[in-house]
Amino acid sequence: MSSNHITLKLKIWRQENNKAKGHFDEFNQKVSPDSSILEMLDEVNNKLEADGKIPIAFESDCREGICGTCGLSVNGHPHGPLPKTATCQLHMRNFKDGETLYIEPFRAAAFPVIKDLVIDRTGFDKIQQAGGYTSINAGSAQDANAILISKENADLSLDAAECIGCGACVAACKNSSAMLFVSAKVSQFALLPQGQPERYDRVQAMVKVMDENAFGSCTNTYACEAECPKGISVSNIARMNRDYLKAKLCGEKAEA
Section 78-94 average pLDDT? 96
34 Cβ contact list (under 8 Å, min separation 6):
1, 2, 91, 92, 93
Per cent of the chain over pLDDT 90 is 85
Summarised one tens digit per residue, pLDDT across range 104-125 is 999 999 999 999 999 999 999 9
State percent of the chain over pLDDT 70: 93
* Domain with residues 122-250, CATH architecture: Orthogonal Bundle (1.10)
Q: Are strands 100-104 and 113-115 parallel, antiparallel or unpaired?
A: unpaired
pLDDT of 140 reads: 75
What whole-number distance in Å separates Cα of residue 202 and Cα of residue 196?
Answer: 10
How high is the pLDDT of residue 136?
63
- State the pLDDT at residue 147: 81
Cα–Cα distance between 43 and 8 in angstroms, integer? 13
Whether residue 246 is predicted with pLDDT greater than 70 in this model: the reply is yes
DSSP bridge partners of 177: 216
Write down the architecture of domain 6-115 according to CATH: Roll (3.10)
For residue 183, pLDDT over 80 is answered with yes
Q: Which helix (H) or strand (E) holds 73?
A: strand 73-74
pLDDT in tens, 210-241: 999 999 999 999 999 999 999 999 999 999 99
| Fold: same for 6-115 and 122-250 | no
Domain boundaries, the chain: 6-115, 122-250
CA dihedral sign of residues 72, 74, 75, 81: negative
Task: Report residue 195: phi and psi, to 5°.
Answer: -95, 0
The pLDDT score that the predictor gives to residue 254 is: 46
Rounded distance, CA 71 to CA 197, Å?
34
pLDDT band at 135 (very low <50, low <70, confident <90, very high): low
Report the chain's mean pLDDT, rounded to a whole number. Answer: 92
